[in-house]
Structure 1
Amino acid sequence: MVGEVRRVNRSSLGSALRELRETSGLEAKAVARGAAMSRSKLSKIENGNTAPSVTDVDCILTAIGVSDEVKAEYMAAAREAATEVTAWRLIRRLGYSRKQQQVQALESQTTLLRLFQPSLIPGLLQTPEYVRAVFARRNLTEDQLERTIGARLARQSVLYSEGKSFRFIITESVLRWRIVPPLVMVGQLDRLISVSRLPNVDVRIVALSARQLDFPGHSFSIKDDRTVTVEMIHAETVVTDPRDVALYVSKFERFNKIAVSGDHMRSLVEGIRDELLREQETD
């Protein structure tokens, strides 16, 4: 582990991160690679020309290999601005494949991931065909699309990591949303059923027939009790204030109470899958 605990504020965060890296003896290119960012972006952060996001700081500290105490101090400084908004156009400029690598780095550090999704199959559960359908709508070149698909699929290996738990809540409407052809969706539903049998993965479905306790709103993911990532139409928002994180945890648990799980969940998914198969047989 690297570094000693020191007082650091948001304005001096970049230079403090540079000092940590230099003390560790790691070259900038090695840390940039470990943090899934470009060497130039790391340089801008260290020189104070770019304000790092909470995600940036988390990834850099992990790449350096600091102690838990040091990480807590630096993350506190990064969270002084409790909510961050990054426009999708900026993420597109970064590159969707690199964004997937950043998400992968964060997921690798997360012990409990809770994800609520009323719009799409969660990325960690998507088949290659489904991933392609999602990102084909982003006007990427074929090369960019292939790299992004590969990066998203690479994230899924975390599902098989020991010591990690995943809880997914998906609304039934997601399973019926026609963003892919019926037979492709059949394969996607089979994937859901398969992954739901992993001992550390809990997949639940909010049935349309259930009496609802809350409104879906938008998708969000909770990493431990540290951060919440919310995907909006124009941007991605990262919430770090513990009071706000608690609101999302509470919302997740309300849906968790009415969602079906285990064999009941698999039965519901199989029913929708069989509907799609019968539809194909009558065409």
Structure 2
Amino acid sequence: MNKAELGSALRALRQASGKEAKTVARRAAMSSSKLSKIENGAVMPSVVDVEQILTAVGVSEDIKAEYMSVARAAATEATAWRLYRRLGYHRKQQQIQAIESRTTLLRLFQPALVPGLLQTPEYVQAVLGRKDLTAEQLARAVGARLARQGILYEPGRQLRFIVTEPVLRWRIVPPLVMAGQLDKLISVSRIPGVDFRVVPLSVRQTDFPSHSFSIKDDRMVTVETVHAELTVTDPRDVALYVEKFERFAKVAVSGDVMRGLVEEIRDDFLREQETD
């Protein structure tokens, strides 16, 4: 089987399982029309698509490994943001939630924004509000992103977040709203299973924060660029991101030291609000 035959092979698996297409599509966080196009060969499935479909169908680990090996034939895939806009950003959030639900160890590095799983509703609104969505599209996207945050409280998961200090100072919301966002970071940092760290500007750096990236276990990395989201699955490339993450982890502050830094910046925002 090669990648061009994946669609028909996935259809055969679904039919053999006795599951209806609409049921598999719903569980795979995609539309029925997209699943149909994949099964008919009109659309080439991404690595994420294949993993979602196989999980929704409910195949053995051996079969999943075989199909995922074919799907990973292209080590890096790019999906343009305009495609997600066409499908709906809320559906993208649902897809991320489905992937995260199967992730035991999540490592996320962010040099620009507060990670989505840690954002307050106001911060989410400000971030997604820059995507020129209708009021209804924005409301659905915001709701879908906030729904993902339930994973923070699920036992048995390791969620590791590293941000650079400028993330705490980046002014995309008013001072009082930003203070509330920083309060949330302090609160979340105390949740069992959550490790939140900050790379201070005062520390001598050993690496460069080129862009954000998210590592799901050791099987997949997603990278956000200006025009597209990249999905990296080659184990050699995934290892590079793990190494980069750990380099930042070594110079980042955590625990009470981190909370003291965040509180200091929060208090600056509160004082600014009082003088306005």
What's the TM-score, normalizing by structure 2? Answer: 0.99
Q: Alpha-carbon deviation of 1:274?
A: 0.6
Unaligned ranges ≥5, structure 1? 1-7
Check if 1:164 corresponds to 2:166: no
Aligned ranges 1:244-255 → 2 under 5 Å: 244-255=237-248
Superposed, 1:146-161 pairs within 5 Å as: 146-161=139-154
- Compute the displacement of 1:72 (Å): 1.0
Matched, 1:225 2:210: no
Question: 1:236-266 CA distances to partner (integer Å, 9 max, x unpaired)?
Answer: 0001111111110110000000000011111
> In structure 1, the residue corresponding to 2:207 is in which secondary structure?
coil
User: Structure 2 regions of 5+ residues with no counterpart?
Assistant: none
**Structure 2 counterpart of 1:3:** none
Partner of 1:76: 69
Q: 2:48 aligns to what?
A: 55
Q: In structure 2, how many angstroms separate the alpha carbons of the residues matched to 1:41 and 1:201?
A: 35
1:130-209 equivalent positions in 2, closer than 5 A: 130-209=123-202
CA deviation vs aligned residue, 1:45-80 (integer Å, no higher than 9, x gap): 011111000010111111111121111111111000
1:118-129 maps to which residues of 2 (within 5 A)? 118-129=111-122
1:271 matched residue in structure 2: 264
Give the equivalent residue in structure 2 for 1:35: 28
| SS in structure 2 of the partner of residue 202 of structure 1 | strand
Structure-2 separation of matches of 1:156 and 1:70: 31
Matched AA of 2:47: V
Displacement, 1:164?
Answer: 1.0
**What is the count of residue pairs matched by the alignment?**
276
Match of 1:25 in 2: 18
Ranges of 4+ aligned residues in structure 1 off by more than 2 Å: none
Q: Mapping of 1:238-249 within 5 angstroms?
A: 238-249=231-242
- SS at 2:257 equivalent: helix
* From 66, 69, 89, the counterpart of 1:96: 89
The alpha carbon displacement at 1:9 in A equals 2.4
Between the aligned partners of 1:277 and 1:50, the Cα distance in structure 2 is 51
| Distance in 2 between residues matched to 1:107 and 1:59, nearest whole Å | 11
Q: Give 1:256-267 correspondences, 5 Å limit.
A: 256-267=249-260
SS of equivalent to 2:109: strand
* Secondary structure class of the residue paired with 1:37: coil
| RMSD, aligned α-carbons | 0.7
Cα distance in 1 for partners of 2:244, 2:206 equals 9
